[in-house]
Amino acid sequence: MTIRDVAALAGVSVGTASRVLSGNSATSPAARERVRVAAEKLGYRPDARARALRSTRSHAVGLLVSDVRNPFFADIAHGAEQAALASSYVTLLANANEDTAQQDTYLEAFLTQRVDGIIVAPQGEGGGNLRAVERARTPLVFVDRTVDGFDVPSVTADNAQGIELAVAHLAALGHTRVGYIGGPSSVSTGRARHEAYLAAVARHGLDDDAELVTVGDFRSASGAAATAKLLAGRRPPTALLAADSLMAVGALGEVRRQGRRIGADVALVALDDIELFRELDPPLTVVAHDARALGERAMRLLLDVIDGRPAASQVLPMRLVVRESSTGRSGR
């Protein structure tokens, strides 16, 4: 389907059809009507890619999340997409699946689709096609995570403050042995949360032996494995702190399989809130991101970069939501 087909059906020249379709007034009302009808009949639409080659704007932006099946990133995507639509941009989502090779594949795809800008929750130590995005001078913003060595504006959560809130809460309840289920050290949030846990444990004078620290990969199976390891220790922790929601899901299952009760037998606090956590029995204490706000702010920051406005990185606070998984009170 090309403009030639439209012109042929309308019985006008390609030049006339082109002038009508581009809104040029140097055309007769009769020609305009014939071209309009022909274009409608044939389902012709101007090619955005061809227009973008001339106009430089596609009004599409790319958002690459780490794991589309993680509710935290789904909420970020929803917030970003709504903010984009409010400014007449569409958001093309892609899923890195916590994999740097797949991240590179989709960054390449975004560049070849000529998106106007890209938001990434990045994997890995940097390099790869993140450098290609930088070389192509495509506007780039990081969300949730950052990569060392990139001068890229970002919207992240205050991980140190969030972990401190969780540890202070557990310390105030009398826990001295807080088992930590951490994220991978290849991700900035994994590193920041681990450091924050060590600092908070020292600040509150809690036990700091190495067997209280485990490392997962932000997926639920790793949370279950870490919990099994922690509970099998010589002096098991009385409280667990999971560095993301999916690892907390794994911890919940492992505690149940061991015949113990969350809340009554072992306290659990999760980083990230998901809708189901408040419906659990007992409901789960969390340190909550506002994931939707992270997505909205990141998109507005990207649109600032695209439009050449000043763009400063932002760090959003986290919030402690106390429910019965840590206080042990029954909801019934």
Contact residues toward a second copy (CB under 8 A) are: 1, 42-43, 45-50, 52-53, 58, 60, 68-69, 71, 74-75, 77-78, 81-82, 85, 90-95, 97, 102, 105-106, 109, 111-114, 132, 134-137, 220, 246, 249-250, 252-253, 256, 259, 261-262, 275-276, 278-281, 331-332
Nearest to 142, CA basis, from 64, 245, 60: 64
Strands annotated E in 48-117: 60-65, 90-95
Could you give the 3-state DSSP secondary structure of residue 215? Answer: strand
Residue 80 or 305 with smaller CB distance to a second copy: 80
Helix axes 188-203 and 159-172, enclosed angle (nearest 10):
40
Please report, for residues 62, 89, 225, 235, 262, the alpha-carbon distance to residue 285 in angstroms, rounded to integers and kept in the order given: 34, 37, 21, 24, 11
DSSP 280-297: SSSPPEEEE--HHHHHHH
User: Minimum Å distance from CB 33 to a second copy?
Assistant: 19
User: Minimum Å distance from CB 206 to a second copy?
Assistant: 27
User: Minimum Å distance from CB 240 to a second copy?
Assistant: 14
Q: Which two tokens stand for residue 264?
A: 């009554």
Residue 119 or 192 with smaller CB distance to a second copy: 119
Residue 68 or 168 with smaller CB distance to a second copy: 68
User: Minimum Å distance from CB 105 to a second copy?
Assistant: 6
Residue 89 or 197 with smaller CB distance to a second copy: 89
Residue 233 or 253 with smaller CB distance to a second copy: 253
User: Minimum Å distance from CB 10 to a second copy?
Assistant: 16
Distance (Å, whole) CA 36 – CA 122: 46
